[in-house]
Every structure is written in structure tokens, then in C-alpha cells.
Structure 1
Amino acid sequence: MTTTTVEEKKYNKLILALSIAIPVVVAVLFGVKIPNAEPLTFLPPVYATINGLTAVLLVTAVWAVKNGKTVLHERLMKTCIALSAAFLVMYVAYHMTSDSTPYGGEGVIRYVYYFILLTHILLSIIIIPLVLISFVRALAKRFDRHRKIARVTYPIWLYVAVTGVVVYLMISPYYA
């Protein structure tokens, strides 16, 4: 039987709150337009690059931990969390200053795009508590429990990071 440490329990309410608040706030802000704001049209390639960098660092972090480089792994994972937060801020800022770009592809590729987009969005919501729980378990030095959830977290987070780039590449020809 595994027990939850005091440190883990301390963060569980915060993890729950953030896991609910982040998607709700993003959804609300997605609908808010800042009047007379200069459109931040330069941001999509920036945050797509951040997604790509996150994917590379996630793979590197797994390599690092499998090769006993735990300090490097920790630094890479903290960087991935920071990059994901930066992505989120830029994504919201872009959508608060710019109209959404409709996808212009036709035929089967349209269905592929919307499948990738939908799974990307849904998994980006699911990944929030998984990342936070994985992080807290590592902070609490509960590496047995950390590894268990990280095995689920990693492929989902990697999928979200990679599909973020794919979605950008697929829609970028339709930006005004």
C-alpha cells in the first residue's frame, strides 16, 4: 500500500485547483478580445517553436534519467514546465488580440486536421494534473510513484507538444 506524504497532500488541492482553473480561464480568455489591441500575429510561430523545443527536451529528459543523469533530467523537466507555461501565456495573448484563423484545407486532410486539433486540445487539458502530480512526486522524492505516473504523463505530454507543431504547420498557410 502506498501512502501519500504530507508534502504531496499539501499540493493536491493546488493541483486540483490549477487543473480546473487553467482550462476554464483559457476558455474564458479565448473569447475575450482586447479592443484596439495590436494583433500579436508574430506569436504562432514562436509558440509552435516552443512546443517543438518542449518535445525535444522531453525526449532528452527521458534519455537523461535512463542514463543516470538525474540533475540534468530535473533541469530539463523544469524547463519543459516553464516552456509550457510560456506557451500558454502566448497562446492566450494571441487569441485575445487576433481573430481565430479558420482551417482552409479540404477533403480528408480537413478531417485529419480536426482530429489532430481535437485530440491536442483534449489531451492538453488532461496533461495539466498529470504533469503537476509527476512534478510534486519528484519534489517529494517519491520516485517510485513519480515513475509510475511519469510513464503515463510522458507520452501524452510528448503528443501534445508534437501535435502543437503539426497543428501550426497545417494551419499556417491560412493565416491572414
Structure 2
Amino acid sequence: MENNSLEKKFSKVIVGVSILIPVVVALLFTVKLKDLGYNVEPLPFLPPIYATINGITALVLVAGVFAIKNGNRILHKRLMTSAIALSVAFLVMYVAYHMTTDSTKFGGEGSIKMVYFFILISHIILSIAVIPLVLITYVRALAERFDRHKKIAKITFPIWLYVAVTGVVVYLMISPYYV
């Protein structure tokens, strides 16, 4: 019963965080610190760093799956916690970049532009959807509700992996157009 109450205890937090993060990111995306009177330098060096973090996150996620399939629950837990920490680091850098630096427009044309926007839009939509999935999956593990954890992890993992990998792909596709 206590484990179920842990899930219930965090359910409102999960809902709040799952709504708050996309809303705050969307709002911060419209704010430039220089427009608010802050004398801040642009941070053009961040995109390759946060793209690398996305790549590392993908590798950590895959390693986490291998760890649990090999029965190493402790390593799995450490890797999944690391993947969450990497995702948070990505988010902080992503927001810092967009609050200090003008957005870069994709310069490709024709079918590659359609491919880019398909990947970008699916990446954005799934990056929003994965927030509650990751949090629910993690809380179920903390609550030692491993039957329920495993069920949702089978949904969470491929979406989170897609978001991490497409983050790198989006960066690689737009990187020639950075000023």
C-alpha cells in the first residue's frame, strides 16, 4: 500500500512539472535577455554541447536497457538517473542559448527542408510527451512497482531514445546555418 501511495504522492508533481516545463520553455523562447536590458553575451558555443549531451543521453538509455536485461538493477538505476540529469542539463543549456542568441533558420530547400521540419516537429512534440512518461516511469521504480514500471518503460524508452537521437540529427542538419 505504501508503494502505491508514493505514486499518488508524486502524481500531482508529475502533472505540474509536465505542464510547467513546456509552458516555461515556450515563454522563455520568446524572451531575449538583451531586450530586458541585461547586458549578456550570446552563447553560440552551446548547440554542439547540448547536441552532444543528447547523444550521450541516447547511449546511456541503451546502456540502461542492456543493464536491466542482464539483471544489473543497480547499474540500470544509475544510468536512468544519469539520463534524467543529462536531460535536465540539456534543457538548461537549450533555454540559456535561446534566451541569449537569435534563432537560426534552416537554410535547406526542397525535400530536405520537409525532412528537417518533420524531424524537428516530431522531436518537439515527443519531447513534451516524454516528460510525464519519464517521471511516471522513474517514480514507479522508486516505489518498487516494477511490474507497472516495466509496462510504461516499454513505451517511455523508444520515445525518449527518439527524442535524444533526433536532437542530434536536428543539430547536425541546422549546424551549417549557424552564424
- Aligned counterparts of 2:172 and 2:80: Cα–Cα separation in 1: 25
Q: What's the offset of the Cα at 1:10?
A: 0.2
Q: Which residue identity is paired with 1:39?
A: P
Tell me the SS of whatever aligns to 1:5.
helix
**1:112 and 2:109 are equivalent in the alignment:** no
1:153 pairs with one of 156, 159, 170 = 156
Could you list the per-position Cα deviations for residues 127-164 of structure 1 after superposition, in whole angstroms to 9, with x for gaps in the alignment? 00000000000000000000000000000000000000
Equivalent position of 2:81 in the other structure: 78
Deviation at 1:37, TM superposition (A): 1.5
Q: What CA distance in whole angstroms lies between the structure 2 residues aligned with 1:7 and 1:61?
A: 23
Structure 1: distance between partners of 2:12 and 2:154: 23
Cα displacement string for residues 108-129 of structure 1 (whole angstroms, at most 9, x for unaligned residues)? 0000000000000000000000
SS of corresponding position for 1:72: helix
> In the aligned structure 2, how far is the partner of 1:112 from the partner of 1:123?
16
Q: What TM-score do the two structures reach when normalised by structure 2?
A: 0.96
Residue by residue over 1:3-38, the C-alpha shift from the partner in whole angstroms, topping out at 9 and shown as x without a partner, is x71111000000000000000000000110011310
SS of the residue corresponding to residue 106 of structure 1 reads: coil
3-state SS in 2 of match to 1:89 = helix
Return the alpha-carbon distance in structure 2 between the equivalents of residues 39 and 73 of structure 1.
37
SS at match of 1:105: coil
Q: Secondary structure at the match of 1:102?
A: coil
Cα deviation 1:45-101 (Å, max 9, x = unaligned): 000000000000000000000000110000000000000000000000000000000
Counterpart of 2:23, as a letter, is V
Structure 2 residue 18 is matched with structure 1 residue 19: yes
* Structure 2 gap segments, 5+ residues each: none
Percent of pairs identical after alignment? 69
Matched, 1:38 2:37: no
Q: Distance in 2 between matches of 1:74 and 1:95?
A: 32
* Corresponding letter in the other structure for 2:171: Y
1:96 aligns with 2:99: yes
Which range moved further: 112-121 or 34-43?
Answer: 34-43
Aligned residue runs from structure 1 range 130-169, under 5 A: 130-169=133-172
> Which consecutive residues of structure 1, in runs of 5 or more, have no partner in the other structure?
none
| Runs of 4+ off more than 6 Å | none
TM-score normalized by the length of structure 1? 0.98
RMSD of aligned alpha carbons: 1.0
1:10 alignment partner in structure 2:
9
What is the count of residue pairs matched by the alignment?
174
Aligned equivalents of 2:175, 2:137: Cα separation in 1:
33
In structure 2, distance between residues paired with 1:170 and 1:142:
40
